Amino acid sequence: METKMFKTATTDLAAAAELIKKGQVVAFPTETVYGLGADATKESAVKKVFAAKNRPSDNPLIVTVANVDMVKRFVSEIPTIAEKLIANFWPGSLTIIMRYNEGALSPIVTGGLPTVAFRLPASDVTRQLIALADTPIVGPSANTSGKPSPTTAQHVWHDMQGKIAGIVDDGATSVGVESTVIDITTDVPTILRPGAVTQEALEAVIGPVNSEHRKVGADETPKAPGMKYRHYAPDVPVYMVTPEAWPAAIIWAQQQLEPVGIMAPDEVIEANHLAGMDFVWSLGTDVTTANAKLFAGLRYFDERDGVETILVHHFANEGVGLAYNNRLGKASSGQYFDADM
């Protein structure tokens, strides 16, 4: 299959939207990561997304919309809590799980559950594309399942060239990690995946919110992506490094026969005289920039010949650090650097 590259001009977006209307898969940019778009109402189109990603069939998909009216096509009513969240966080990096009208969407979109996840992204390009297609689209990350999510069109091309019909290129994403997912069908609204919209921000709008960052059981269908299967992982081992462990980690890295990739904030790089050295990836000045640079760094080292290990900075587990550590924890399988390893 030929994969076409599209820019963000209206004519390009119209051509990409036509492909979606015809049941094809087109990768699209958002403020979080690039997604794989296909008509959420066409089962045959959605199956192509699963095939392109090699994604497990019980992993539900997020339905990405251009406006709130598209949500109303699938639900009897939008609950009051959802209305408050929509008013405060849409368009934006928040995905809301609601109950939907039975039969309104294919079971392969919902994983056979009575709930579905909706998102209205902040990206003007994405919303324009969906509006031109005149249909909500599924929107899983545009990468091979289990690998680091794509934050540039080039990342998508690497994984999806020849597998999908098109890619809309809007440059690098600004947030860099997937949206926060909140389930409002539980007694207390529950965060199933942390993201840029923090628990504190949500509680300021709707009151108490639970947090459930876990993997589900082998026989259990997850309500949201990222809860059951290995995610975000390069082919080589990744280890988390706490701030105080960096001096020992750098000495260890220098003693290895094969190159070790180091991903750290500028403060660590400068304090340990690593600036300008090969196999060093800057995570920027703080955890917000680190979120935007994490997946790109993991991909960079995964594709570099000879790199056998990647060491990555671990931030405090608070605020947007929860989202960062969630993705890094999955990429590393929870492994921390140990000088004796």
- The pLDDT profile of the chain, 341 residues, written as one tens digit per residue, is 999 999 999 999 999 999 999 999 999 999 999 999 999 999 999 999 999 998 776 678 999 999 999 999 999 999 999 999 999 999 999 999 999 998 899 899 998 899 999 999 999 999 999 999 999 999 999 999 888 999 999 999 999 999 999 999 999 999 999 999 999 999 999 999 999 999 999 999 999 999 976 555 555 566 766 554 556 789 999 999 999 999 999 999 999 999 999 999 999 999 999 988 899 999 999 999 999 999 999 999 999 999 999 999 999 999 999 999 999 999 999 999 997 77
Candidates 159, 341, 333; CA nearest to 233 is 333
Using CA atoms, how far apart are residues 125 and 28, in angstroms rounded to an integer? 8
Tell me what pLDDT residue 145 has: 86
Query: At 197, is the secondary structure helix, strand, or coil?
Result: coil
Residue type, 124: D
Distance, in Å, from the CA atom of 95 to the CA atom of 267, rounded to the nearest integer, reads 33
Q: Please give the Cα distance from 250 to 246 (Å, whole number).
A: 6
Distance of CA 72 to the CA centre of its chain: 25
Q: Are 96 and 184 in contact (CB under 8 A)?
A: yes
Phi and psi at residue 241, to the nearest 5°: -125, 120
The CA distance from 194 to 213, in Å, is 8
Beta bridge partners of 262: 280, 311
How many other CB atoms are found less than 10 A from the CB of residue 80? Answer: 10
The region, left, alpha or beta by phi > 0 then psi within -120 to 50, assigned to residue 23 is left
Check if the beta carbon of residue 55 is closer than 8 Å to that of residue 145.
Answer: yes
Provide the token pair at 49.
């997304």
Per the CB < 8 A criterion, the answer to whether 191 and 181 are in contact is yes
Residues 71 and 96 sit within 8 Å (Cβ to Cβ): no
Q: Which of 69, 63, 73, 58 is nearest to 113 (CA)?
A: 58
**Superfamily the domain 4-211 falls into:** DHBP synthase (3.90.870.10)
Strands (E), 78-159: 94-99, 115-119, 137-138
Nearest to 172 by CA among 299, 323, 337, 23: 299
pLDDT of residue 276: 86
Strand partners, 166: 4, 26
> How far is 129 from 92, CA to CA, in rounded Å?
16
Dihedral Cα 121, 122, 124, 125, nearest 10 deg: -50
Q: At 16, list the tokens.
A: 């990409």
Q: Give the CA count within 13 Å in the CB-facing half-sphere of 227.
A: 26
Report pLDDT for 213.
60
- Rounded to an integer, what is the distance from CA 298 to the centroid of its chain? 14
Any bridge partners for residue 118, and if so which? Answer: 63, 96
- The answer to whether residues 312 and 282 touch, using CB atoms and an 8 Å cutoff, is no
Question: Does this model's pTM top 0.95?
Answer: no
For the beta carbon of residue 244, count every other beta carbon within 10 angstroms: 7
How much helix, strand and coil, in percent to the nearest 5, is found in the chain?
35, 15, 50
Write out the two tokens for 5.
């590259």
- Residue spans in the chain of domains classed CATH 3.40.50.11030: 238-331
Query: Boundaries of CATH 3.90.870.10 in the chain?
Result: 4-211
CATH 3.40.47.10 fits 238-331, yes or no: no
Counting Cβ atoms within 10 Å, is residue 341 exposed (0-12), middle (13-18) or buried (19+)?
A: exposed
